[in-house]
Amino acid sequence: MLNIGIIGAGRIGKVHLQSIVYHVKDAKVKSIADPFMDGETKAFIEGMGVNEIYTDYKKILGDEEIDAVLICSPTDTHASISIEAINAGKHVFCEKPVDLTIEEIMKVKNALEGKNLKFFVGFNRRFDHNFAAIRAAVGAGKIGEPHIVKITSRDPAPPNPKYIKSSGGMFMDMTIHDFDMACFLVDSGVEEVYVQSAVLVDKAIGEQGDVDTAVITLKMANGALCVIDNSRRAAYGYDQRAEVFGSKGMVATANDTLSTAVIADENGVAGEKPLYFFLERYMQSFTKEMCDFVDAVVNGTDVPVGIEAGLQSVKIALAAKKSVETGLPVKI
Amino acid sequence: MLNIGIIGAGRIGKVHLQSIVYHVKDAKVKSIADPFMDGETKAFIEGMGVNEIYTDYKKILGDEEIDAVLICSPTDTHASISIEAINAGKHVFCEKPVDLTIEEIMKVKNALEGKNLKFFVGFNRRFDHNFAAIRAAVGAGKIGEPHIVKITSRDPAPPNPKYIKSSGGMFMDMTIHDFDMACFLVDSGVEEVYVQSAVLVDKAIGEQGDVDTAVITLKMANGALCVIDNSRRAAYGYDQRAEVFGSKGMVATANDTLSTAVIADENGVAGEKPLYFFLERYMQSFTKEMCDFVDAVVNGTDVPVGIEAGLQSVKIALAAKKSVETGLPVKI
Amino acid sequence: MLNIGIIGAGRIGKVHLQSIVYHVKDAKVKSIADPFMDGETKAFIEGMGVNEIYTDYKKILGDEEIDAVLICSPTDTHASISIEAINAGKHVFCEKPVDLTIEEIMKVKNALEGKNLKFFVGFNRRFDHNFAAIRAAVGAGKIGEPHIVKITSRDPAPPNPKYIKSSGGMFMDMTIHDFDMACFLVDSGVEEVYVQSAVLVDKAIGEQGDVDTAVITLKMANGALCVIDNSRRAAYGYDQRAEVFGSKGMVATANDTLSTAVIADENGVAGEKPLYFFLERYMQSFTKEMCDFVDAVVNGTDVPVGIEAGLQSVKIALAAKKSVETGLPVKI
Amino acid sequence: MLNIGIIGAGRIGKVHLQSIVYHVKDAKVKSIADPFMDGETKAFIEGMGVNEIYTDYKKILGDEEIDAVLICSPTDTHASISIEAINAGKHVFCEKPVDLTIEEIMKVKNALEGKNLKFFVGFNRRFDHNFAAIRAAVGAGKIGEPHIVKITSRDPAPPNPKYIKSSGGMFMDMTIHDFDMACFLVDSGVEEVYVQSAVLVDKAIGEQGDVDTAVITLKMANGALCVIDNSRRAAYGYDQRAEVFGSKGMVATANDTLSTAVIADENGVAGEKPLYFFLERYMQSFTKEMCDFVDAVVNGTDVPVGIEAGLQSVKIALAAKKSVETGLPVKI
């Protein structure tokens, strides 16, 4: 039985807690730490059977019975806490992005050198049933050599503009999932990035120096071309689709809905909107990634999304930001 | 070049005229007859290049240059004009149903005996791209032995109740297409019919002694079970679907639409309604059946829908009416 | 916290155990009884944190701390154990069918008279996301007055013919869900039943006096017509669709799949087969019904599927059997 | 009755001939010219009722009874023949592209100045039912302000590499339709182009200095972003889809198929491949554009796709070629 400590009791920390309690056999959550723990959160955690609740995450790192930690704190603490945890001999599951800079991620990478510890980056979408089905079809050669990758990723509503700065902007906060997805779907790195972007959703986002709409072209290392389109606001909800086209065919996925019900009336034939946002859409993937993390630690299997993947996606995001600044394609 | 005469210049007569002018290579329409020929109709016919326009169809039958006639007159004249045409040595394309009674159809059948003439019954839906694709899949064994046939057939709007009597009622006028379709899809006759029906659309239809909604079960001669559901009024338009389920799988078709466009907005994800009614939905099938008729006459190929098919569908329709009267299953 | 005892540790008993442990907040399983408890089952139950494991269900009924029982034993024991449980003052969740005879179900109904106990019949499909969406649309008047109900229900593989007798045959074991669904979707009882059926899947089923393929017509009390089509074997898997057509439109559902992935290649454009069988397809509905049962007991809300629903579906199933025997429609 | 002369009796010339004969009321083809006229072509033309068949197109231009000409000759003759026709007082329908250079197209534009003649560029896809439905939805404000335009355009098979040079390469020959479509769908010009491209289908195409796979980003004048993805070879056939995403929603189209039939068996649930290539897919659009051309001439209505549209698409194509050469975005 793996003992896990969760650092950060925000939305995603709670999701992981729930996944472990309900769905992960070989692990239990021993303790949770968060400096800002309100009563509701505390009650939720206790309701899940966790009684060691701290404000200081160092109590978790200092607990010798803890085997692994989940780092669900704000992005700018991911790298430093990761390094502390590694040095304390803990396996680490770290939410994405590992950091907004290459330098800090390299420090984490260096800390891992020579240690026999697992480091898992929380790119949960790799564990989504739809994207996993694309990857499986591509991996099985069903579409031949990949030529074109297309990812549509549109949020139902923009974040609070105040949140933009700390999140690193759209590419680091939102598109980073799509960058990782592009690499995952065709099992390849990225060589060059070009971005066409605009502020079409919310001027306040532009005033923060960020964009809210983008078409991003990637030249993949394996020769394939990739295009990602992003918007911070799709009126019909969370739009998460992907397609890989290759020498023998194409595999594509549609959005998930709450039901398959379709109503035909004098106005037309209407189905449901996509599931509302990432918690609804990707809940199963959060569970799946946690199972895989625990499996990697307990059974010594390979981590499917390690520090290299965390590094790669941030490199692409930084190149994307540079492409916006320069108006030019940027090599990685 | 086959010379054709058209008897009846109503809606369907005009459709056939247009098909022949635009799409049938080896035939031309030499003359058209209708006792009630208005100015607009006459202009339309002349615009199609036909100058021999009569009120009396006997002029067509008496024209030795005419090889074949299309009988598009009212249902109660189909059989008698067919017999006259056969006796005049003309090949015949007759709109469905051949007659409302078995007796009259048998007279047509007898008239055909020993004559080397083609008799084609206008079950145009057999020539529709969707239903033909089902028939092809079933015929090719793709779904194995047929077990269950399902036909949905709903009109966008009921006919004028005054028209009910002369049309022979819903089974003879509307469902007759579905009866023929059931036989066509699995290449089998029908042994028994049971009808559950109701008047749910328009009370005036009930007052004419007819029904407007029905679920009809057929026991097919080949052992398959079939169900047809009918309504005289679907708010979303003309609903024309079919499905054949068998030992190895299932083949099914959806409705046709004007475009594949789908609009996603805050209300949902909406596609178009089906094509409005039979002229829109089945236009290509009218052309295709006319090509096949001309081909059968010119090249001596078999008629795909002959007098036996015309007889069979009327027998089923009569059994369906009897099932409504008795509330019991009726053997054929 | 509601204390639950589970009677019967077969497949469905385990499903309910898992649902309660993982997803039901206000209840816990205190004990489980089954006369045939193998090691694997015992280990599974203990793994779920239940330590009171009995061979004799009477120990559960005699436990004063137990508030409610789930009856997951063989069908022929449902009624008698239900009555014992009621007399012991327990709330009851009983798997369908309550019994194969009206007489026994009436005894359960009588036992409930005057008791302030909840009795919930396990028609889980009512809690399925797709069927619930149809019911919601119909209930909200989106399709107007219901005219035609269509239910397709086909299993991926037939049961062992030896199992036929004890299960009561196809109508009592399989179609009973569809009978309940028809009533649920349009909130109406059934007045008359007519069945066309055949043995097309497995002759051994016919030798047991049962059928494996059927088209069943129901005349609903509210005037709507309903048709159910069943097969014991669909080559492409578990086919579970429904459609309600009414005066203002239609609502219909499609099958669920593991992913939305579609592969286009030189052979065509192919999506996945439906989810394999009822455990895969209806897992969420099992959880949902358990939540509703616990809610009804704890908060005193109405039971959504009570003894009347259990009685109704068996009455229809018996009428269906009689229709097969007589070849005639049967009034209820 | 408009008298039309067709210059060029290749594939597309024949398509237009057929459209006019079968579907255009107010026009007839008086003569056709082609220097390379084989027997089969001649027979086809005569079969369509055209008897004036020339090798020299100047006979058409010199015929005073001819009101309008269709220029279906090789691309490098479009501009010069257009100018001759204009100077001879003929209305012109010119196949796309008008020329491979801006200079030549400007000469055509200049020739049109002050003349009361219609000049129609054959961007037939604007008249396609699916793309027209997108345009109508966008024009009606159903998706709000356009933010992202996506066009997928993949051919079923690459052209003969020998043909590459004379066609002007992929952007001028194939993507030019997509450039025009982008402008059409959101009624806007293009400001900047960036291309990621590769030779992934056929090395011989690369040896001709062309590419066969591309992802093209356009910055539209109205602020929207557009991405086009192209391949010269889709194993599953002609892939022609588009999507416009905006502030209020999205409109998207799928491919057309020969039928809606779907076969479910143990391998999955499979539908048909898209219609094979442009003649199958766009046949109705060829007819529609010819009707619109004749309507513009006869009734003096505006030409929906004039010389400006012809100029615009070539400018974008040239910028795309330059982007490939320089690896940089190119302003227009």
Nearest Cβ partner of A200 from D147, D192, D219?
D147
At residue B264, the 3 state secondary structure works out as strand
Q: Is there a contact between C235 and B197 if contact means CB atoms under 8 Å apart?
A: no
pLDDT in tens, chain C (332 residues): 899 999 999 999 999 999 998 888 789 999 999 999 899 999 999 989 999 999 999 999 999 999 999 999 999 999 999 999 999 999 999 999 999 999 999 999 999 999 999 999 999 999 999 999 999 999 999 999 999 999 999 999 999 988 888 889 999 999 999 999 999 999 999 999 999 999 999 999 999 999 999 999 999 999 999 999 999 999 999 999 999 999 999 999 999 999 999 999 999 999 999 999 999 999 999 999 999 999 999 999 999 999 999 999 999 999 999 999 999 999 99
> For the segment D72-94, what is each residue's pLDDT rounded down to a tens digit?
999 999 999 999 999 999 999 99
* Residue D326 to chain A, least CA–CA distance (Å): 11
At residue A148, the 3 state secondary structure works out as strand
Predicted local distance difference test score (pLDDT) of residue D166: 86
Nearest Cβ partner of D219 from A154, A192, A196?
A196
In D, minimum Cα distance to B137 occurs at D263
Alpha carbons A51 and A238: distance in angstroms, whole number: 36
- The DSSP code for A259 is -
What does the block give as tokens for C202? 């497995």
ipTM of the complex: 0.95
* Three-class secondary structure assignment of chain C: CEEEEEECCCHHHHHHHHHHHHHCCCEEEEEEECCCCCHHHHHHHHHCCCCEEECCCHHHHCCCCCCEEEECCCHHHHHHHHHHHHHCCCEEEECCCCCCCHHHHHHHHHHHCCCCCCEEECCHHHHCHHHHHHHHHHHCCCCCCEEEEEEEEECCCCCCHHHHHHHCCHHHHHHHHHHHHHHHHHCCCEEEEEEEEECCCCHHHHHCCCCCEEEEEEEECCCCEEEEEEECCCCCCCEEEEEEEECCEEEEECCCCCCCCEEEECCEEEECCCCCCHHHHHHHHHHHHHHHHHHHHHHCCCCCCCHHHHHHHHHHHHHHHHHHHHCCCEEC
Contact C40, C13 (CB under 8 A): no
Nearest Cβ partner of C130 from A248, A256, A260?
A260
Q: Is there a contact between B148 and C196 if contact means CB atoms under 8 Å apart?
A: no
- Percent above pLDDT 90 for chain D: 94
> For the segment D196-226, what is each residue's pLDDT rounded down to a tens digit?
999 999 999 999 999 999 999 999 999 999 9
Pairing mode of beta strands B68-71, B91-94 = parallel
- The DSSP code for D40 is H
Omega of the bond leading into D97 within 30 degrees of 0 (cis): yes
Predicted local distance difference test score (pLDDT) of residue B316: 98
Residues of B whose CB is below 8 A from C245: 154, 229, 231, 234
Predicted local distance difference test score (pLDDT) of residue A25: 79
Alpha carbons D121 and D177: distance in angstroms, whole number: 11
Q: Which of D215, D256, D274, D271 is nearest to D133 (CA)?
A: D256
Q: Is there a contact between B267 and A270 if contact means CB atoms under 8 Å apart?
A: yes
Q: Which of A225, A220, A147 is nearest to D202 (CA)?
A: A147
Helices D278-299 & D11-23, crossing angle to 10 degrees? Answer: 60
Pairing mode of beta strands A268-271, C146-154 = unpaired
For B64, counting Cβ atoms within 10 Å of its Cβ (0-12 exposed, 13-18 middle, 19+ buried), the class is exposed
Residues of D whose CB is below 8 A from A192: 196
Q: Is there a contact between D249 and B259 if contact means CB atoms under 8 Å apart?
A: no
Residues of D whose CB is below 8 A from C266: 235-236, 273
Neighbours of A166 (CB within 10 A): 12
* Residue D123 to chain A, least CA–CA distance (Å): 26
Residues pairing with B268 in the sheet: B265
Q: Is there a contact between D234 and A250 if contact means CB atoms under 8 Å apart?
A: yes
Predicted local distance difference test score (pLDDT) of residue D276: 92
Predicted local distance difference test score (pLDDT) of residue B23: 85
Neighbours of B90 (CB within 10 A): 23
Alpha carbons D249 and A154: distance in angstroms, whole number: 11
* Residue A258 to chain B, least CA–CA distance (Å): 12
In B, minimum Cα distance to A258 occurs at B268
Contact C217, C194 (CB under 8 A): yes
Predicted local distance difference test score (pLDDT) of residue D24: 87
Alpha carbons B230 and A31: distance in angstroms, whole number: 63
Q: Which chains touch B (3 or more CB pairs under 8 A)?
A: A, C, D
Predicted local distance difference test score (pLDDT) of residue A233: 98
Res D25 pLDDT > 90: no
At residue B321, the 3 state secondary structure works out as helix
Alpha carbons D107 and D79: distance in angstroms, whole number: 8
b/e A128-148 (16+ beta carbons within 10 angstroms → b):
bbbbbbbbebbeeebbeebbb
Alpha carbons B178 and B317: distance in angstroms, whole number: 10
Predicted local distance difference test score (pLDDT) of residue C163: 86
Residues of B whose CB is below 8 A from A265: 235-236
Predicted local distance difference test score (pLDDT) of residue B178: 98
* Residue A108 to chain B, least CA–CA distance (Å): 43
* Residue C162 to chain A, least CA–CA distance (Å): 36
Q: pLDDT tier at D265 (50, 70, 90 boundaries)?
A: very high
Q: Is there a contact between B129 and D22 if contact means CB atoms under 8 Å apart?
A: no
Nearest Cβ partner of C264 from D236, D266, D268?
D236
> For the segment D313-330, what is each residue's pLDDT rounded down to a tens digit?
999 999 999 999 999 999
Residues pairing with C192 in the sheet: C219, C331
Q: Which of D187, D271, D258 is nearest to D223 (CA)?
A: D187
Omega of the bond leading into B97 within 30 degrees of 0 (cis): yes
Backbone angles phi, psi at C138, to 5 degrees: -65, -45
Residues of C whose CB is below 8 A from D234: 264
Residues pairing with B251 in the sheet: B244, D263
Q: Which chains touch A (3 or more CB pairs under 8 A)?
A: B, C, D
Q: Is there a contact between C198 and B147 if contact means CB atoms under 8 Å apart?
A: yes
Q: Which parts of chain A sit beneath pLDDT 70?
A: none
Nearest Cβ partner of A256 from C260, C263, C272?
C260
B70 sits in the region (left: phi over 0; alpha: psi -120 to 50; else beta) called: beta
Alpha carbons A307 and A300: distance in angstroms, whole number: 16
Contact C198, C184 (CB under 8 A): no
Omega of the bond leading into A97 within 30 degrees of 0 (cis): yes
For B11, counting Cβ atoms within 10 Å of its Cβ (0-12 exposed, 13-18 middle, 19+ buried), the class is exposed
The helix or strand, by DSSP H or E, that contains position B41, with its residue range, turns out to be helix B39-47
Alpha carbons A75 and C245: distance in angstroms, whole number: 52
Q: Which parts of chain B sit beneath pLDDT 50?
A: none
